[in-house]
Amino acid sequence: MSQEALQAAKSGKRTGPMQSRALLCLTLMCTVGHFSIAYGQTDDREAILAVMEKAFAAVRSNNPDDWRAIQLAEGTSLSFRPGPAARPEDLEMRIWNNEGFLADLKPDGHDYVERWTDEPKVLIRGPIAAVWGEYEFWIDGEFSHCGVDSVDLVKIEGEWKIANFVWTVEKESCPTAPSH
C-alpha cells in the first residue's frame, strides 16, 4: 500500500478503489495467516497428545517395541521417587538412556494403567515441544501412586517423537487416590 493511501486511511479521507482493494487484501492475508498459524499449532498439539496416549498404551503393554515406535533411543528417561532413606524428602533419582530403560522391559502379566488427572500443558515452538501434566498410576486395578510427567518431544521428518521423559513417583498427597 502506498504512503499516500496509508496517510489517507489515517486521516479518514476516502481512498480510491485500488487502495480499498489493497487494504482488503492485506486484511484478508493477515487473517488467513493468523488462522494458519493457529491451525498448525492445534494439529501439532493433537499429534503430541496422541504420542502421549501411545506412551500410556506402552506402559500398559510393557512392550519395548511400543516404546521404540515413539521415542528416540538417544534420549533419556529419568525418575524421582522416595528413596530408601528414612526421610521422605530424600528422593532417589534413576536415569537411563531410553534404550537402556527398555533393556529389561517385557510383558509380565500385570495390568498397568497411567492416565492424566487433568489436562496437560503443551508448549510448542517449531520442531520442539514440552508436555507437563499430573498423572495417576494403577497396577492390577489398585492405585499405586501419582506424580508429574515432564516430556520433551521433537518433530523429525514430520513425526513427533519423545526425546526425554522425566517423572516423579509420589505416594503421599495424591489428589485422585481412592482415600481422598
pLDDT tens string, the chain, 180 residues long: the values are 444 544 444 444 444 444 444 333 333 333 333 333 444 567 999 999 999 999 999 999 999 999 999 999 999 999 999 877 666 678 889 999 999 999 888 889 999 999 999 999 999 999 999 999 999 999 999 999 999 999 999 999 999 999 999 999 998 889 888 865
- Residue 62: the pLDDT is 93
Q: What is the pLDDT of residue 40?
A: 54
Alpha-carbon dihedral 30, 35, 38, 43, rounded to 10 degrees: -140
pTM check: above 0.75: no
CATH of domain 49-168: 3.10.450.50
Write out the three cell numbers for 57. Answer: 498404551
Distance CA 74, CA 71 (A): 9
